[in-house]
Amino acid sequence: MLKLNGYEIILASGSPRRKAFLEKLHIPFKVKVYPSDESYPSSLKGIEITEYIVAKKSEPFKEKILAKQIIIAADTLVCCDNQYLGKPKDVEHAKQMLMFLSGKSHQVITSVGFLTNKKFDIISEITNVEFRKLTYDEIGYYIKIQPPMDKAGAYGIQDWIGEIGVKKINGSYTNVIGLPLSQVIERIQFLTKK
């Protein structure tokens, strides 16, 4: 069990998967999300993008944070052939993303920001994922049974498409889902130690 030593964790994310991770680890937390613009300057690349967006998501909390609070914000992005894939805009866009990822390796980049009343820092993790060649029917079936509209790259590795389509993974599995848990736990332990 993680000892928080009187600290309150606030998850600045509406992601049901990030919430489920913290619940599974029995970490008491509250969810508070402010609307944020996830656009970024076109000059940014890879980790720079996710770290920029995490900083934007954390910004509204800076004036309101109390002592012994830790705000956790996160952003995940998929990178394949120098193209960055966030969440799909619609079903057709999701199909296009999955066809693009089919038969290729890609990177899943997640950055997690930790804001306290004293400082703000970010950790980032990259996981390499390789898909086998997916058929158009498999992609259509997946989108029908588990709509991936809230997932970067239009897929969840824990979903049906991940189970049948992921050929190889190198790095953190939980990072691909949206939160590199071992790093997050280490950072919380560091911030809450007496």
As annotated, the active-site residues are 75
Q: CB–CB of 102/133 below 8 Å?
A: yes
CB proximity list for 136: less than 8 A, separation 6 or greater: 95, 99
Phi and psi for 40 in degrees, rounded to 5?
A: -150, 155
Whose structure tokens read 């949206």?
178
Kindly state the tokens that stand for 90: 């619609």
Q: Are 176 and 64 spatial neighbours (Cβ–Cβ below 8 Å)?
A: no
